[in-house]
Structure 1
Amino acid sequence: MATKPRYVSVHRPRIMKESGMGKNQRKTWGPAQEELPNPKNYLRKHSREQKLPETITINPPKYSSVNQRLLALPPRREKLAQENLHFVRNQETSPGLPKIAIPLPKMTLTRLNVDSEGPQKVTVFPEIITPVPRKPVPTCVDTCKGHKYLLKNSGLVPQHALKKGYGEAPRFVHQHKQKVIQKAKEQERRIQEHEAKRAQEYADANNVLEDLEQKLETLFVEHHRLPVVLDLRHNQIRKEKIEKAMDQVEKDIERVKRFIANYYSS
């Protein structure tokens, strides 16, 4: 019997949309939902250094006279404006003195002209700029009593996914791996050398055994060639020497066979 399809409410899309717009965005449990950083905006060198903007255009208010303009300045800057005005007038009335211009890097300075009514270029300093509101630090709440910790460097949020060398093993891991490989190669080389040495020793032992057997066979032939009646003394001495040599060769053969069986059997 085929099962009936599961019931799905027609209001499900609307409910999911409303829940996403409301409660989920302001939840206080679990990691904060924040937008992933763009990999192209990776931290660059000298990017956090404070920079002065070049210039901005300000339309000053129109005053009927210089005195009204000086009175409109704050008290702390009134003295500075009077000194600048006095310096400019002296510079204009002195034909023999050259005009002084002090250029600053990445900034355009113009001579202060209090009588001008058009737009002027003035320098903007950091304390005049309105700071950008600071965003809240992303945190993760993991207990019902409000215990939280920073999401940065916690491993819950991917950072610098397209950074050069991201996901690669550190240098010391490669070095350790190379050391392990080198150690394994050295161990393999030692094992091969040991096996080659054992094979050479085994071949030498077999050669010695073959030589002893051949020597025993030669002595056996000489022993059979002796006369049946040993009436002479030198024949008796020769027979004793051959028998003694045969006994010694048989002992050597037994010793070599025992050595081969015990040392090369494993």
Structure 2
Amino acid sequence: MSGFIYPPESVYNLLPREETAPRKPPRYMSKFRPTVLQESKSTKDARRTMGPAEVELPSPEKFLKKRSKDPKPAGKAESSREARSCSARKPPVPARTDPPVMGLQTKRDFLKTVSAVPMKPQPTCVDSSKGHRQRLENSGLIPQYIRKKDYGEVPQYLQQRNEEEKMAQEEFRNFVKEQRAQGAMKQLSEEERTNILEGLKKNWDLLHHEYQGLSFVTDTMTKKARKTRLEKEMEQLKNDIQRMEKFRTIYVPKNQD
């Protein structure tokens, strides 16, 4: 067999050798072991026992009787004891032929009791399946706001706002009158207003057609700027069209035709 090398022969290899076991490293011991042992001994329960606790067994003579744990009313027992201990009897019922006893007065007034109006129960509202109820006035089902003193009146802040709007309108009217008197403003006719409105709509259509032809992907700064410019111009034209359609009377300066 080519390539195989035999080990060198030696006489010492024939001598028996002692087998030595590999030495294991020392076991890891934590430096906190004494502290843990001391804490566990100090917190150990001193009353811990093995097996069931030694208690006195109940006596068979003290067995539980039927209904012995039911609550007993105190008044009933006392009244029965008093009735048994009472030896005096009540006077007999007067006969039919006996004259009535005069001068008796009762604590209640019979006329007031007869003529008194019976108390009406308060209306309540049950709001749960377990029977919880509350007064109907506090349930929110009865409108309480109609009982207010200022119900139906305009609030103070709305009155103040209406007065401010009236004052602003009056000031604007006075300003327009002054400008017209000075000849600095003129009123647009219906034909001019219609022509301006049609021109604004035509410009908006042209910008919208140009906006629809933009590229779907705006990956360059030029495309983004063009799209932003068209959106601003269309928004401005839209506001102008709405303003022209809303107001019929429009004043413009004479020097701006």
Q: Same fold (TM over 0.5)?
A: no
Q: Tell which structure's C-alpha radius of gyration is larger.
A: 2
TM-score, normalization by structure 2 = 0.24
Could you tell me the TM-score, scaled by structure 1's length?
A: 0.23
The higher-RCO structure (CA 8 Å, 6+ apart) is 1
